[in-house]
Amino acid sequence: MIGRVVGKYKIRDQIGEGGMGVVYRAEHVMLGSAVAVKVLLPQFTKDPGVLERFFTEAKAASAIQHAGITAVFDFGRVADDQAYIVMELLRGEDLTSFLRRQGKLDPSLAAEIVAQLLAALNAAHVAGVVHRDLKPDNIFLVRDTGAPGGIRVKVLDFGIAKLVGNPQGVKPKTTTKSDTILGTPSYMAPEQCRGGVEIDARADLYAVGCILFELVTGRPPFVAEGQGEIMAMHIYEAPPRLSQFERSLPPELEALISKMLAKSPDDRTPSAAWALAALERVPLPPLGAGEIRLAARDETPIAVPADPAQFPREKLPLWIPIAVIVVALAIAALAIYLIGGSGDEFTPTP
């Protein structure tokens, strides 16, 4: 694919690969703007179900207008019938890799990441899109000095999203069978694990509860060797209390996570907006003035200030303070000389 033109974009190099497709860096042939192009592998393009889910990702993401959702610019097929999606090119790191390097996060940083995630989800749910596969792999962190803490959260991969109520004119050709189980076991709501029922936005909120639990403890709520065992735990076992792992965290945070992890959707947080408002009321200190480094090609660190007065300022060139010191010393020497000279010539009046 490298060197080929896909739509209006020329493929430059490969930047990622998964089990079903390859992601390339590309440039607009006229404007030169950089984008990411995800190309479905040929063997999957022939599968109508996979192809539909692939294009659902483009339709679902384009139906949502929010800074926390990865923008989709175009989608279609190349000459040999391979399917592709053109998306914004992100520089940063997925949350899985970030957690692997950082371990459990400071609760204030965890709350900021989840607050942005909930804001993006609220926009998706209002647009009639349920993600259904939220997990750290599908949450990307990019640098954005205009965002709180200098980090912008981006939600990726709407490949198995559910389009509810014909959002903004988007009409999926097919619907997922009710007995089909889709998702990632460690973050799946009990109703997803059971299958055979309609999934709504509250399943996404359960996944967010699992993610928030993992951010502050270093592990998801349920851990087991087999996927089936994990799914059974989601259905039948009460989730562990946050205080079992981190006693210093506010009880309000534990109460929120417990509500997000309720077995019944009716007992769960009713909406992303509700969960966001509850999270904002948790008494947590402001983000510290530490340094967060994202493992991207451009490894510029992110400073997370505790207050606006601690935002990094431009460093002065080295010659400026040196020049100021030299001038100050010269003025001091001149003053000493003048005072000393005047004293020698001064004669008191009799």
Cα distances (Å, whole numbers) of residue 107 to 114, 223, 251: 10, 21, 13
**Phi/psi at 82 (5° precision):** -70, 140
Report the relative pairing of strands 72-77 and 139-143 from DSSP bridges. unpaired
Rg (CA), the chain: 27
Tell me which H or E stretch contains 56: helix 48-62
Q: How far apart are CA 44 and CA 51, in angstroms?
A: 7
Tell me which H or E stretch contains 254: helix 251-260
- Residue 80 annotated to the active site: no
Tell me which H or E stretch contains 230: helix 227-236
Catalytic member of 94, 106, 133, 157: 133
Tell me which H or E stretch contains 94: strand 92-94
Q: How far apart are CA 334 and CA 326, in angstroms?
A: 12
> Given the structure tokens 């899109």, which residue do they identify?
129
Q: How far apart are CA 121 and CA 211, in angstroms?
A: 14
Rounded to a whole number, what is the distance in angstroms from the first to the last CA of the chain?
Answer: 102
Active site residues: 133
